[in-house]
Amino acid sequence: MSVKLPIGPIHPMLKEPINFTFYVEGETVVDAEPNIGFVHRGIEKLAENKTWFQNLYLLEKVCGICSSSHQGCYAQGAEKVFEAEVPEKALYIRALMWELERLHSHLLWLGVIMHEIGFDTLFMYTWRDRESVMDLVEMISGRRVGYSINTIGGVRRDIEYKILSKALDVANFIASRAETYERIVLRERTILDRTDGVGILSKADAIRLNTVGPTARASGVKRDVRYNLPYAIYNETPFDIVTDDGCDVLSRIIVRIREMIVSAEIIKWIVFNMPKNGPVSAKITPFTKPPENEALSRVEAPRGELFYYIKSKGDLKPERIKIRTPTLANIVSVIHMVKGHYIADIPPIVAGIDPCMSCMDRIAIIDIRKEKKKIMNHDQLLRYSMKWYKDNYRWIREERR
Amino acid sequence: MTSEKDFKDKFGELASEIEVDKFGLVWMITDISEFKQLLSALREEGFDHLSTITGYDDGERIHLIYHLVKFNEKQSDEVNVVIYTDREDSKAPSILDLYPSALVYEREVYDLLGVKFEGHKGLKRLLLPEDVPEDFHPLRKDFKLNV
């Protein structure tokens, strides 16, 4: 008897296992091969069997951290398919959630990268600050993760005036904290030793390998979907694209910290410019059938360009939904980045593109000269890399200079 | 921003159909024999960002849509190149030499729709386990879910 499983593309981003095989010569990595798909849930196939409104809550669960980006990106594409007019206030609330999501995602990542290089003090501080954003999104939507704020044609909840003033406080607080972090990161020897000059991705390579998001911007590529392909309210929003020419893990940290400051500015702009009154959603019922259409939708998620292709055949269910997550786009760049670096540098490089925390659950290291294969888990690799840096830091400092 | 006429002047010979839809997106339908030429012409024109490759089975043939972007200072250009391939013997040329990032996208389309990309060395499944049967491609329309 054959068993049928619901299968579709997955999302190799958060809390999901990925398996890398690194080929090393002595201490140097010469090649890498990622294996993904361990938590393949069949969401794309399943989405073809659910109605347009059921899919809102299915696609939100593609990712736990950027759930609003996924739901908003799908809602934005579905609105094009339905040819719906979205009220302006709904776009402001949606953008507010996107920017808050970027703040807490970058704070989470900053903690993770500090944990990867063994600097747990900063990890504790960033995660403490992240709670203020989490409390705010809970006040707005009622939930800390999976906010379900979007719907096709707008948002599901209006926002109260007193919450907006709280959003201002949070934006000011995070911006001041981000400035502190930038000062610490640029001065602290422990961080510089492990990140400066590690995981080089040149500008030409970043363009050639189609790298997206903060990883590309840390290589000096001035590409941001919010700016280059403006959607929602970003056409009117004044903001700068943060770039850095360092091309290494340190630049990726700096770019994300500065992006938090920019996001805080955007949040303040949204609060001051949000329309006071008006509807927050268009009238589309779950039994409205869309016309025959196909649409693309792009959103700058915290990790980079998020892409949806949506096709309808005029039914209650979509004909095809294609999702491309930013981590999948950056996997090819990671393979390029680790080549030529030491085994001890693998954790900060792989964490540098902001994949999931358990992404590096298990690593197989193959020594080409000895043809030996040993398997390390993430904790062992972390301990190995910290010990290796403790033993070798003198000559490695000389070499990097 | 490039206008519809510019696209028709530059790529009219290589694409069998060029149209702009109501959202301002450019759709180019082309034949497999001229597809690589069109893509390298687009790449030279500045369309260096491949967002992804969408595979879609309409029940009769498989559509492959290549979503390309040319990043401008404001309002970038988007082009979607469409080719059709047979359901029985689905083949398409690999574009790894033009866009190295297609590595994962081609493997994904092969995995879920069974399109063989000619010239892609070591084409294997990306998401599904390696031990599923050879003709198991769940995103095809004849694969039904029991839900």
Flag if B112 and A8 touch (Cβ within 8 Å): yes
Q: Is residue A263 part of a domain?
A: yes
User: Which letter does DSSP use for residue A281 in this model?
Assistant: B
Give the minimum alpha-carbon distance from B15 to chain A in angstroms, rounded to a whole number. 20
Single-letter amino acid code for the residue at A241: I
On whether residue A28 sits in a domain, the answer given is: no
Alpha-carbon gap: A17 to the closest alpha carbon of chain B (Å): 12
- CA-CA-CA-CA torsion sign (A305, A311, A315, A319): negative
Per-residue pLDDT of chain B (147 residues; tens, 9 = 90+): 667 788 888 888 888 888 888 888 899 999 999 999 999 999 998 999 999 999 999 989 999 999 999 998 877 889 999 999 999 889 999 999 999 999 989 999 999 999 999 999 888 888 888 888 888 899 998 888 876
Q: What is the pLDDT of residue A357?
A: 36
Beta-carbon separation of B127 and A223 below 8 A? no
Within a domain: A350: no
- Tokens 């109501």 map to which residue? B22
pLDDT digits (tens, 9 = 90+) for A214-264: 999 999 999 999 999 999 899 999 999 999 999 999 999 999 999 999 999
Close Cβ partners of A27 (under 8 Å, ≥ 6 residues apart): A342, A343, A344, A388
Residues A395 and A393: their CA atoms lie apart, in Å, by 6
Inter-chain touch B108–A229, beta carbons under 8 Å: no
Q: Which of B104, B105, B120 to mutate to test the interface with A (most CBs of A within 10 A)?
A: B104
Tokens of A86: 């979205």
Q: List chain A residues with CB under 8 Å of B79.
A: none
Rg of the Cα trace of chain A?
A: 22
Which residue from B minimizes the CA distance to A224? B71
Q: By the CB < 8 Å criterion, does A112 face chain B?
A: no
Chains A, B: CB contacts under 8 A, how many? 104
Looking at beta carbons, which residues of chain B come within 8 Å of A324? Answer: 51-52, 105
Q: What angle do CA A15, A18, A23 make, to 5 degrees?
A: 145
Tell me the torsion sign for CA atoms B98, B99, B104, B106. negative
Helices (H), ranges, A83-208: 88-116, 120-141, 161-187, 189-195, 203-208
Q: B100 and A208 in contact by Cβ < 8 A?
A: yes
* Residue recorded with tokens 């010569």: A25
Residue A207 lies in a domain: no
- Is the predicted pLDDT of residue A392 greater than 90, yes or no? no
- Count of beta carbons in the 10 Å neighbourhood of residue B126: 25
The domain of A303 spans: 43-198+225-325
Q: Show residues of chain A in contact with B126, CB under 8 Å.
A: 36-37
Which residues of B lie closer than 8 Å to A, measured between beta carbons?
A: 21, 23, 25, 48-52, 54-56, 65, 67, 69, 71-76, 78, 80, 99-101, 103-105, 108, 112, 125-129, 138-139, 143-147
Does any domain span residue A32? no
Whether A154 is covered by a domain: the verdict is yes
Cβ–Cβ of B75/A228 closer than 8 Å? yes
- Where residue A92 sits, what CATH number does that domain have? 1.10.645.10
Higher pLDDT, A7 or A206: A206
Instruction: Please state the domain count of chain A.
Output: 1
Half-sphere exposure of B1 (CA within 13 A, CB side): 13
**Are the Cβ atoms of A45 and B71 closer than 8 angstroms?**
no
Distance from CA of B138 to the nearest CA of A (A): 6
Q: Give the pLDDT score at A363.
A: 45
Residue (of B31, B9, B7, B32) closest to B21 by Cα position: B7
Of B76, B103, B129, Cβ closest to residue A229: B76
Q: Which domains does chain B have, with CATH numbers?
A: 4-87 (3.30.460.80)
Cβ-based contacts of B113 with chain A (< 8 Å): none
Retrieve residue A138's tokens: 């809970």
> How many Å lie between the alpha carbon of A55 and the closest alpha carbon of chain B?
15
User: Tokens at residue A362, please?
Assistant: 């298990």
ipTM computed for the complex: 0.94
Q: Tens of pLDDT along A4-39?
A: 222 223 333 334 566 777 788 878 888 887 777 777
Structure confidence at residue A13 (pLDDT): 31
